[in-house]
Structure 1
Amino acid sequence: MRRATASVPGPQPAAGPGPAPVQAVRVLEITAGFAVAGPLGGAARFVIELSRALATRERTRVAPRLAALWDFATPHDEEWRAQLAREEIPVFTAAPWQAGAPLRSCMESLRNLWRHPGARVDVIHSHGEFTDLAAILLKRRLGARYLVRTRHSSVEWPKRPRLGAFFANLLYPAVFDMEVAVSQNAVEALDGRWLAGRLGRKARRIYNALNFERFGIEMAGRLETRARLRASLGVPVDAPLVGTVGRLVPIKGYHVLLEAIPAVAQLYPHARVVIAGEGPERAALEAQAAALGMGERVIFTGARSDVEAVLATLDLFVSSSYVEGLPTAILESVAAGVPVVATAIPGNMEILQDGVTGRLAPPGDAPALAHAIVAALREPAAAKAMADRAYQDAQQRFSIEVIAAQYADLFCNLMANAPGR
């Protein structure tokens, strides 16, 4: 079993942003871990990128450090800890993840955080479920004045709905000084809670964000990437390639995407579909594809660490979800310049406007989804124009620089109103 580890900032000031001024707000960002290609996905990457942006672009206002509840023992865990250390962002990883004993893993992580709290902070910022509980536990221990939590998902504590309802409706409004939601629909849900209304608590909308630079690097060699990845997947370079990225769970609606594929294949017999991700629904989805006679057309890749490369090779990204907060996968596709077809649900519609920046179809409607996919493939010039407009809009609203500034404003405004400050 691996012991808890701490990444200590390097001694070379030139390697990172340098020390923040004394007046900078000291913020502890808490994430579940750094397994960005595994179970944690977009939220974990967002916390990392937010911390990096705060430490560089907002260093005169915010001094961040990171605590990860678990080490998932993936290559990304090691890579990100090393990268953050090079950038002089302090990191503490509390405990190893034990897949067969989640409760034990949770207790060990919280115990280690309590025993090794680190330096005092002004604000603790958590990002869902167990990290929210860790923030509550550590507030007094770290002398934090304020607790802030960001709700990244439209559904909290899905495996423990009763417990989640207690936390979300009664505990969180009472103990968190600010709750942030990543979509307007989620803001309205938070503001609609009885206790939040009684206490006069209003949630704030701050979107999830992307580091657009990471996609720019991959896109620079797009043709080479496209040829290389398609060859590895057994897809001809000129075949229409439709794809999606995400966890294979029911709310993602991948079974609806598979139901739509036969209609697409009738018009585009050489088209292929790639589904990049892992999850409990994989076996059922593979069986469904085979039963539809689409087994050779649909490629299940499992979890991928090279999301940028996967997107670079697609002609069209499809999201068939029933529920989303603010979907990172769609943002990534937009950043990669890939046309998008998605379901007309609140989170998706905050990114895409039907017929302007993408194409939307009703959730659960396979014929409508097939029609939207065919329309995008049939009119590639129009699809590209939509993708270009989506990219320009996303840079204005969802870039990590914009969102980091909004969080810095939030933290500074809280501290400006702190008693005795």
Structure 2
Amino acid sequence: MKVLHVITGLAAGGAEQQLRLLLRHLPDRHRCDVVALENPGTVAQGLREDGVRVFDLGMRGNRDPAALPRLTGLIRHGRYDLVHCHLYRACVYGRLAARLAGVGAVVATEHSLLPGVIEGRRITPGVRALYLAAERLGQCTLAVSESVAEHLADWKVPAHRVLTIPNGVDAARYAQPAPTRAATRRFLRAGLGLPQDALVVGGLGRLVPGKRFEVLVDALALMPQRDGGARLLLVGDGEQRPALERRARAAGVADRVVFAGERDDVPDLLTAMDVLAAPSRNETFGMALIEGLAAGLPVRWSSGPALSELPPEAAPGARRVRSDPAAYAAELALLRQCRTPLPQPEAVRHYDIARLAPLVAGLYDQLGGAGTAVPTPAPARTVPLPQHPPAAAAKTSR
């Protein structure tokens, strides 16, 4: 089966990285290409290194009248059996182009939908109307969490057209033997200028206002100064970096905050941390939480369906914290002596891409083989947490 993934852009971001991870784990019977409407950034290069053919549509802005016929022609010429769209603009153009090209199987993934906000932008009546009109041109919308599925239901998207298949993590990539992990930790701390014995608090994600990394900067200033003080390592880049740098200087902690920038070695960078902190108040999933757990870190978080939709025993190393500096400072100070890596908990196995990618492949088979037929969702739309005997579950608890 030939599948074309249509995405708005391919700069480093959650949806873009999820697409690359999915394509790495889909079975060979699905031959996938990718087209970016604009901005074929670092993820495009990574996809090409993986052997995926990537097209750049060269779209100029939201209203480029030539983009639709170019995309329609690309789909028709490629003779694709299924089109899978990602992110708002690509969902609008991609669904319509697929229908004009005569493709009967059209899927979309809703990566980022919150009350009043989609992909960090305010939802206007026009945005919502266009979203719903485009949604009717497809056969199925995948929600990355039950929270997203509930928002789609609030928008009156029919329940039989929505399936919840969550984001995934490459669990095996984050699990390192103890000697390898220790050597990586020493090497990275030395390269980043982090003391080997310091408590390092990590933040992972785009440096944008919604992530609330300023909470961690302020929390660092409130923490005790024992042994030179804790450090904050922020991995990611974005529009808020200058403001965060100014805030660190104003709080007197600029020498203890390290901005690592946009990196493609996140599993290794996590070994340099002692705890992952995520103070965002509104997340549509919260992949950083799962990455932290996969790397053996305790996780302190404020929002994230990835964990809130699972029972607490699925992630015993994670604790929810109120999103303010005092609460984080108090919680993080308690972790000063907790340096032993934790085992990967059930939550990580639940979100393992090796388990989730076959579910997407099965959906492709159903839609591609049956034309416009829509698969019947299970009674619980979300993928169930794997069940293990009590003894096995006990081994994951600390």
Task: Quickly name the TM-score band, shorter chain normalised.
Answer: 0.7 to 0.9
User: What SS does the corresponding residue of 1:55 show, helix, strand or coil?
Assistant: coil
Q: Deviations over 1:274-313 (max 9, x none)?
A: 1122111112111111111111111222222322221121
Deviations 1:313-367 (A, max 9, x none): 11111111111111222222222222211114544423683882311112x3222
1:83 to 47, 50, 53: 50
Aligned: 1:115 with 2:73:
yes
Aligned twin of 1:4: none
- Relative to structure 1, is the Cα distance of residues 218 and 288 closer, same or farther in structure 2, using a 3 angstrom cutoff? farther
Contact in 1 for aligned 2:275/2:299 (Cα 8 Å): yes
Contact 2:92 2:130 (C-alpha < 8 Å) held by counterparts: no
Q: Is the CA contact (8 Å cut-off) linking 1:179 and 1:204 kept in structure 2?
A: yes
1:50 to 9, 16, 22: 22
CA spacing shift, 1:111–1:377, aligned 2, 3 Å: farther
| Structure 1, unpaired ranges of 5+ | 1-24
Which residue of structure 1 lines up, in the alignment, with residue 208 of structure 2?
249
**C-alpha displacement at 1:409, in angstroms?**
2.2
Length-normalised TM-score, structure 2: 0.82
- Aligned to 1:265, the other structure's residue is in SS state coil
Q: Give, in whole Å, the separation in 1 of the partners of 2:105 and 2:179.
A: 43
1:178 to 2:140 alignment: yes
Which secondary structure does the structure 2 equivalent of 1:65 belong to? Answer: strand
Q: Cα–Cα, structure 1 residues 301 and 252, in superposed 2: closer, same or farther, change >3 Å?
A: same
1:19-69 per-residue CA deviation (whole Å, 9 max, x = no partner) reads xxxxxx443222334433xxxx2211211221221134xx3xx44333233
Give, as a single letter, the amino acid of the residue that structure 2 aligns with 1:360: R
Asked if residue 311 in structure 1 is aligned to residue 273 in structure 2, the reply is no
For each residue in 1:246-276, what CA deviation from the matched residue of structure 2 results, as whole angstroms up to 9, or x when unmatched? 1111110111122211232346643111112
Which residue of structure 2 lines up, in the alignment, with residue 30 of structure 1? 6
Q: Which stretches in structure 2 are left out of the alignment for 5+ residues?
A: 374-398
Deviation digits for residues 138-180 of structure 1, max 9, x if unmatched?
A: 2134422122111111342544622432233x32442222111
State how far apart, in whole Å, the 2-side matches of 1:219 and 1:209 are: 24
Larger proportion of helix: 1
* Partner SS, residue 201 of structure 2: strand
1:416: Cα distance to partner?
5.3
Aligned length: 368
- Aligned twin of 2:325: 366
Which amino acid is 2:345 matched to? Q
Question: 2:36 aligns to what?
Answer: 68
The AA in structure 2 aligned to 1:114 is T
Q: Contact 2:293–2:345 at 8 Å: present in 1 too?
A: no
Q: Aligned-pair RMSD on alpha carbons?
A: 2.9
**Contact 1:183/1:206 (8 A) holds in 2:** yes
For residue 359 of structure 1, what is the amino acid of its counterpart? R
1:165 paired residue number: 128
User: Sequence identity of aligned pairs in percent?
Assistant: 28
Using the size of structure 1 for normalisation, the TM-score is 0.78
Please tell me the residue identity of whatever aligns with 2:217. L
Structure 1 distance, partners of 2:46, 2:185, is 25
* Pairing 1:404–2:357 present: yes
2:149 paired residue number: 187
Q: What's the counterpart of residue 12 of structure 1?
A: none
Structure 1 residues 72 and 92 mapped into 2: Cα distance closer, same or farther (>3 Å)?
closer
CA distance in 2, matches of 1:42, 1:149: 16
Distance in 1 of aligned mates of 2:67 and 2:297: 39
Change in 2 beyond 3 A, CA 1:350/1:380: farther
Q: Distance in 2 between matches of 1:220 and 1:134?
A: 49
Match of 2:377 in 1: none
Distance in 2 between residues matched to 1:73 and 1:182, nearest whole Å:
23
The residue number in structure 1 matching 2:392 is none
Q: Secondary structure at the match of 1:143?
A: coil
For 1:276 and 1:218, locate their aligned partners in 2 and report how far apart those are by CA, in whole Å.
23
Take 1:128 and 1:408, find their aligned partners in 2: how far apart are those partners?
20
Could you tell me how far apart the structure 1 residues matched to 2:106 and 2:318 are? 37
Q: Distance in 2 between matches of 1:376 and 1:351?
A: 24
Query: What is the rounded CA distance, in whole Å, between the counterparts of 2:259 and 2:279 in structure 1?
Result: 16
Change (3 A) 1:157 1:111: farther
The verdict on how the C-alpha distance between 1:219 and 1:186 changes in structure 2, with shifts beyond 3 A counting, is farther
Distance 1:160 1:260, change over 3 A: closer
How far the C-alpha of 1:243 sits from its partner, in A, is 1.0
Instruction: Please say which of residues 392-401 and 318-327 is displaced more in the overlay.
Output: 392-401
* Alignment partners' CA distance in 2, 1:43 and 1:419: 26
Q: Secondary structure at the match of 1:283?
A: helix
Q: 1:150 aligns with which of 99, 105, 109?
A: 109
